[in-house]
Amino acid sequence: MTQSTYQMLDPTAELSSERRARRSPPASLDGATIGLMSISKERSLEFLDTVARRLTARGLKIARFEKPTHTKPASEAVIQAMVERCDVVVVGLAD
Amino acid sequence: MELVAVVKRDCKTCRLVEPVLAQIRERAPLALYSQDDPSFPESLGGAQDDTALERSWRLRIEIVPTLIRFEGEKEVARIAGWDRAEWERVAQQSRLGPGLPAFQPGCGSRTQEPGMPERLALAHGDLRLNSRRIDVADPEDAIEVAYDRGWSDGLPIVPPTPLRVAMMLSGTTRRPDEVIGLIPPNLSECTVEKAAANAVMAGCRPEYFPVVLAVIEAALDPRFSMHGLLATLWFSGPVVIVNGPVARRIGMNSGGNALGQGNRANATIGRALQLVIRNVGGGLPGGVDRAVFGNPGKYTFCFAEDESDPDWTPLSVARGFKPGTSTVTLFHGDGVQGISAGRSRTPEGLARSLAMGLCAVCHPKLAEWAGAILVVSPDHYAIFSEGGWRRTEIEAGLREALRRPGRDLVQGAYGVEEGIDPARAEEMVDKFNEGALLVVRAGGRGGLMSAVIGGWSAQRKKLEVQPVTREIPT
């Protein structure tokens, strides 16, 4: 019996994401800038305002970010700004 | 000058012209090709073997017999089938085929057999497919290989062989390497070829492919927010409604069991979109797809609207397209909730009855939140219709019946914490935002029932998340 070759076309985007090791959390928050990212979902500000008050009370530096709507991904500009300015980011997801 | 003739034994007209070919060859150089049997025609000592059809393909033969005259490399005259006057003109010879009828149509060239144009285009480099080719040792394993590679939604797929993908591409005039758009969540480029491979896997026929392409493009419209729909915790997935002549042409179901199983076009068009999101976009359950439950419609959810009543304004026309235009409308929908309403005999009463069912969407006490599709059955439509109600009146009647006192809906009312802002207690509040309730007709006769397809909670952001309608180019 002859072995016939059967071919399929790859239906995927044929891309493989680069896997990078997650950066380990800083040993200390001293001097760190903490980003607070709102996805603009109901009540995420309530949560993030509380976090901001508590972190500020501890003398930490806060930077606030938001994307205009939770229904769409954050823009490159918002993500880039967080990368440039923050050491740690807290994201307020969900309700 | 050189003459070329292409014939096949399995063609009565080719056998008829055998003596003509002998006549021609006595007077001029004639290259003869046989598509099925090189020993034919015997009286000329056979023909050159073109059973692989390469020469026929290069000569773009559609009918046999075909006679062509070349001057050097250039084709200057051609006749397909038998037509004495034309053969004499092409061959530049007179008195051909005495005793034959003046005219007899030819037969189809073997290059035109189903699947053959695509097979030959692939074999001879006229169609280049750029996707990586994956070898499968045994065809029996192809479906398992697809599972192993993560290409399946859980159901078996049709293996996307180069020939099947080429045949799918024959359903469109668009180039295989044309980029349709960036598919979320990975924002990967989707070419027409990748869409075709996924449409094959979904089980589509080539004639569905223009619909599939329009569905993908509608899903990529920023107003639709496909990324968010994929990522949501909520049940929703894309629901596709097809309008216009294409629905009948490809045999879609808008009648009995329109929202159910059993129709190939309904089943596979919706599935093709989901496979594109999965395979090209990388959208996987448990990955960016965070659905708490999902719903069975996330395998596929696609149906056609019943446009059989000329007095009914189809959804596409209500959404601004000309009558007779084929369109797809994409909505972010959940499963189906039935409404039993068997006692209403007036349009007003029926509208109020259906509105009560619609109020359950998302939560009975939420308002201006998720939208919905109301699928009106033929028997319910008959009640509206007999009362003189068409789309405009039905939508107006529903809107009125869906306007409720805020005090019944505020948080805490009736001992239920869920609800609207207490500040709105004195207002009359609409259940749905303007444009968020789509009324369509579908279904079979025999039941005083209609169907609600609840929407995505993010539709409350009416500027950011909207149903999208797109024309299917013919």
**H or E element: which one contains B437?**
strand B437-441
Confidence of residue A8 (pLDDT cuts 50, 70, 90): very high
Instruction: For residues B309-338, give the mean pLDDT.
Output: 98
- In this complex, the residue of B159, B162, B228 whose CB is nearest that of residue A72 is B228
DSSP for residue B285:
B
Q: Which residue has the tokens 């709102």?
A: A38
- Who wins on pLDDT, A70 or B365? B365
> Above 70 in pLDDT, residue A94?
no
Instruction: Please name the residue of chain A whose CA is at the shortest distance from the CA of residue B185.
Output: A73
Q: Looking at residue B216, what DSSP letter applies?
A: H
Mean pLDDT, residues B165-169: 98
Confidence (pLDDT) at B1: 87
Q: Where are the alpha helices (DSSP H) in B92-172?
A: 116-123, 142-148, 162-169
Q: Reply yes or no on whether the pLDDT at A14 is more than 60.
A: yes
Kindly state whether B233 is in contact with chain A, defined as any CB-CB distance less than 8 angstroms: yes
d(CA B430, CA B406): 9
Query: What are the helix (H) ranges across B94-244?
Result: 116-123, 142-148, 162-169, 192-202, 209-220, 226-231
The answer on pLDDT for A91 being more than 90 is no
The predicted-structure confidence for B125-160, as pLDDT tens digits, reads as follows 999 999 999 999 888 899 999 999 999 999 999 999
Q: Is the peptide bond before B41 cis (omega within 30 degrees of 0)?
A: yes
pTM as predicted: 0.92
Per CB-CB distance under 8 Å, the chain A contacts of B275 are 11
Ramachandran assignment for B190, one of left (phi > 0), alpha (psi -120 to 50 degrees), beta (any other): beta
Q: Enumerate chain A positions whose Cβ falls within 8 A of a Cβ in B.
A: 3-15, 17, 69-73, 94
Summarize the confidence of residues B426-430 as an average pLDDT: 98
Residue found by looking up tokens 């006769």 in the block: B445
Hunting for tokens 């891309």 — which residue is that? A15
Which of A7, A17, A69 is facing B133, going by the closest CB pair? A7
Contact B240, B273 (CB under 8 A): yes
Mean pLDDT of B201-224: 98
Residue of A12, A18, A44, A67 to mutate when probing chain B, most B C-beta within 10 A: A12
Q: Where are the beta strands (DSSP E) in B294-399?
A: 302-304, 327-340, 372-376
Burial A22-53 (b: 16+ CB within 10 A, else e): eeeeeeebeeeebbbbbbbbeebbebbeeebe
End-to-end CA distance of chain B: 43
The amino acid present at A45, given as its one-letter code, is: L
Q: How far apart are CA A33 and CA B320, in angstroms?
A: 51
Q: From B130, which residue of chain A is nearest by alpha-carbon distance? A: A9
pLDDT at residue A53 in the model: 95
For position A95, what pLDDT does the model report? Answer: 63
Under the banding of pLDDT at 50, 70 and 90, the label for residue B350 is very high
- In what helix (H) or strand (E) does residue B23 lie, and over which residues does it extend? helix B18-27
Q: If pLDDT is split at 50, 70 and 90, which confidence band does B341 have?
A: very high
B228: contact with A, CB 8 A cutoff: yes
Query: What is the pLDDT, as a whole number, of residue B138?
Result: 87
- Distance, in angstroms, between A10 CA and closest chain B CA? 5
Residue B278 has pLDDT above 90, yes or no: yes
Tell me what pLDDT residue A2 has. Answer: 46
Higher pLDDT among residues B225 and A21, named by residue: B225
- Using DSSP bridges, classify how beta strands B327-340 and B103-104 pair: parallel, antiparallel or unpaired: unpaired
CB under 8 Å to B308, separation ≥6 — which residues? none
What is the reported pLDDT for A1? 40
Name the 3-class secondary structure at B316: helix
In chain B, residues with a C-beta closer than 8 Å to the C-beta of A13 are 183, 186, 188-190, 194, 279-282
Contacts of B227 in chain A (CB under 8 A): 72-73
Closest CA to B96 of B67, B60, B74: B67
- Rounded to the nearest 5 degrees, what angle is found at the Cα of A18, between the Cα atoms of B287 and A78? 70
**For residue A38, what are the β-bridge partners?**
A66, A92
Could you tell me which residue, B7 or A31, shows the higher pLDDT?
Answer: B7
Residue with tokens 């980003």: A35
- What pLDDT score was predicted for residue B389? 98
The beta strands (E) that lie in B192-348 are given as 237-243, 302-304, 327-340
- C-alpha triplet B171, B174, B175: angle, nearest 5°: 115
Distances (CA, A) of B113 to B2, B9, B61, B274, B324: 28, 16, 12, 32, 33
Out of A5, A14, A71, closest to residue B132 by CB: A14
* ipTM for this model: 0.91
Residue B268 pLDDT > 70: yes
Cis peptide, bond prior to residue B473, ω within 30 of zero: no
pLDDT of residue B243: 98
Distance CA A58, CA B334 (A): 46
d(CA B162, CA B168): 10
- On the question of a cis peptide bond just before residue B185, with omega within 30 degrees of 0, the verdict is yes
Shortest Cα distance, chain B CAs vs residue A13, angstroms? 5
B464 and A13 within 8 Å at the Cβ level: the answer is: no
Beta partners for residue B440, in sequence order: B375
| pLDDT average, residue stretch B235-244 | 98
**Interval B228-253 mean pLDDT:** 97
What angle, 0 to 180 degrees and rounded to 10, lies between the N-to-C axes of helices B192-202 and B162-169? 110
Residue B365 is classified by DSSP as: T
CB-side exposure of B45: number of CA atoms within 13 Å?
Answer: 3
Specify the pLDDT at position A4. 57
- Average pLDDT of chain B? 97
Residue type, B133: R
- A26 or B268, greater pLDDT: B268
**Among A9, A17, A43, A69, which would you mutate to test the B interface (most chain B Cβ atoms within 10 Å of its Cβ)?**
A9
> Which residue in B222, B232, B231 sits closest to B362, CA to CA?
B232
The three-point CA angle B285-B286-B292 to 5° equals 85
Question: In the predicted model, what is the mean pLDDT of residues A37-65?
Answer: 90
Q: Hey, which residues does B361 pair with through a beta bridge?
A: none
Quote the pLDDT of residue B34: 98
